[in-house]
Amino acid sequence: MTDAQDAPDPRTDAEDVAAFLETVHPYDSLPRDELARVAGCFGRRTLPAGAEIYHAGAPLDGLFLIRRGGVEVLDGNGALVSLLSARNSFGERGLMRDGRAATTARTTEETQLLVLPPADFRHLLARSEAFARFFRRGGGSEPRGADLASMKVSDLIARRPLSCAADTPAAEAARIMRDAGVSSLGVTEPLAGGGERLLGIVTVRDLSGRVLAEGRDPGVPVHQVMTADPVTLPSSALGSDILHLMLERGIGHLPIVDQGRFAGMVTQTDLTRFQALSSALLIQDVAEAATVEAMAAVTARIPHLLLQMVGSHVSHEVVTRRITDIADAVTRRLLQMAEAELGPAPVPWLWLACGSQGRQEQTGLSDQDNCMILDDAAGPEHEAYFAAFARFVCDGLDACGYVYCPGEMMAMTPRWRQPLSVWRDYFHGWIARPDPMAQMLASVMFDLRPIGGAARLFAHLQQETLAAAAQNSIFVAHMIANSLKHAPPLGLIRSFATVRSGERRHQIDMKMNGVVPVTDLGRIYALLGRLEPVNTRARLVAAEDAAVISPAGARDLIAAYDLIATMRLENQAALVKSGRRPDNFLAPYDLSDFARSHLRDAFVVVRTMQSALGHGKGAPG
Say yes or no: domain 277-480 is CATH 2.60.40.10: no
At 566, the pLDDT band (50, 70, 90 cuts) reads very high
**How many CB atoms neighbour CB 497 within 10 A?**
14
| CA atoms 536, 538, 544, 547: torsion sign | negative
Sheet (strand 71-74) strand order: 52-54, 104-107, 71-74, 80-84
Name the region of 313 (left: φ>0; alpha: ψ -120 to 50; beta: rest): left
Range 153-268: architecture per CATH: Roll (3.10)
Q: Is the pLDDT at 572 greater than 70, yes or no?
A: yes
Q: What is the pLDDT of residues 515-563, one digit of tens each?
A: 999 999 999 999 999 888 889 998 998 999 899 999 999 999 999 999 9
Q: Is the pLDDT at 365 greater than 70, yes or no?
A: yes
User: Nearest Cα to 246, choosing from 260, 262, 231?
Assistant: 231
Q: Is residue 392 within 8 Å of 342, Cβ to Cβ?
A: yes
pLDDT, position 225: 96
Q: What is the mean pLDDT of residues 505-524?
A: 94
Range 4-136: architecture per CATH: Sandwich (2.60)
Q: Is residue 379 within 8 Å of 391, Cβ to Cβ?
A: no
At 278, the pLDDT band (50, 70, 90 cuts) reads low
User: Nearest Cα to 588, choosing from 576, 597, 579?
Assistant: 597
At 185, the pLDDT band (50, 70, 90 cuts) reads very high
Q: Is the pLDDT at 142 greater than 50, yes or no?
A: no
Distance CA 241, CA 238 (A): 5
Q: Is the pLDDT at 464 greater than 60, yes or no?
A: yes
Q: Is the pLDDT at 81 greater than 90, yes or no?
A: no
Q: Is residue 93 within 8 Å of 60, Cβ to Cβ?
A: no
Q: What is the pLDDT of residues 478-496, one digit of tens each?
A: 889 888 888 999 987 678 9
CA angle 522, 524, 527 (to 5 degrees): 110
pLDDT, position 304: 85
The half-sphere exposure of 586 on its side-chain side, counting CA atoms within 13 A, is 28
Per-domain residue ranges for the chain?
4-136, 153-268, 277-480, 484-614
Distance CA 95, CA 92 (A): 5
Q: Is the pLDDT at 26 greater than 90, yes or no?
A: no
User: Nearest Cα to 174, choosing from 211, 141, 228?
Assistant: 211
At 438, the pLDDT band (50, 70, 90 cuts) reads confident
Sheet (strand 449-453) strand order: 417-419, 370-374, 349-353, 449-453
Burial pattern 356-391, b for ≥16 Cβ within 10 A else e, equals: bbbbbbbbbbbbbbbbbbbbeebeeebeebbeebbe
